[in-house]
Structure formats: C-alpha cells, structure tokens
Amino acid sequence: MFKSELVNLVLKFVCYALFMLFILFSVVDYWLKIAFVVLIIPLWVITDVIKYRKKKETMNFKIKNACYHWLIEQSDSTRSRGIFSNL
C-alpha cells in the first residue's frame, strides 16, 4: 500500500521538477518565475510529504493498537481457561 503511494509521491516530485524547469526556461514574467520556484512548488512538495507521513504514522499506530488489543484478548482467554490459576 505504501510503496504505491511512495511511487506516486516520487512521480509527483519529478513532475514538479519538470514544471519548475519549464517555468524557469519559459518566457514568463520574472516575478512569476520567482513566485513559482520559491513559493508555490515547494509548498506543494511539503504538503504532499506531510500528508504521506501522517498517513504512514496513522497506519503504523493502527497496526500497533490492533496487535496490543490482540495480545490482551489472548491473555484474557488464557486466564479464563485457568492456565494461570496457580500463579
């Protein structure tokens, strides 16, 4: 799941870089070039990276939480069977 998202993120970066090169070498106004290169494109990249990291952290937390609850259920079921009754 995350590998495909990571590939998409890398492809976006490549597209951003190509777009940045297009803006730099086109006959667009000087200030518009500066705005795109310095402000807009890095903002797009930063927001995509933040979204990817948040999604990854959320998924890792859900997996850890599920494992924790499974372990608790397993320990409760063994206690109810009397395995730890002599402790």
Residue 87 inside a domain? The answer is: no
Q: How many domains does the chain have?
A: 1
pLDDT in tens, 25-75: 776 677 777 777 677 767 777 777 777 777 777 777 777 777 777 777 777
- Is pLDDT above 60 for 82? no
Alpha carbons 35 and 31: distance in angstroms, whole number: 6
Residue 14 domain boundaries: 2-80
Q: Within 10 A of 47 (CB to CB), how many other CB atoms are there?
A: 10
Q: Specify the amino acid at residue 77.
A: S
Per-residue model confidence (pLDDT) at position 81: 55
Alpha carbons 45 and 41: distance in angstroms, whole number: 6
Residue 86 inside a domain? The answer is: no
Per-residue model confidence (pLDDT) at position 28: 67
Residue 67 inside a domain? The answer is: yes
pLDDT category of residue 79 using cuts at 50, 70 and 90? low
Per-residue model confidence (pLDDT) at position 78: 58
- Determine phi and psi for 81, rounding to 5 degrees: -85, -5
Nearest to 6 by CA among 46, 48, 42: 48
Per-residue model confidence (pLDDT) at position 83: 54
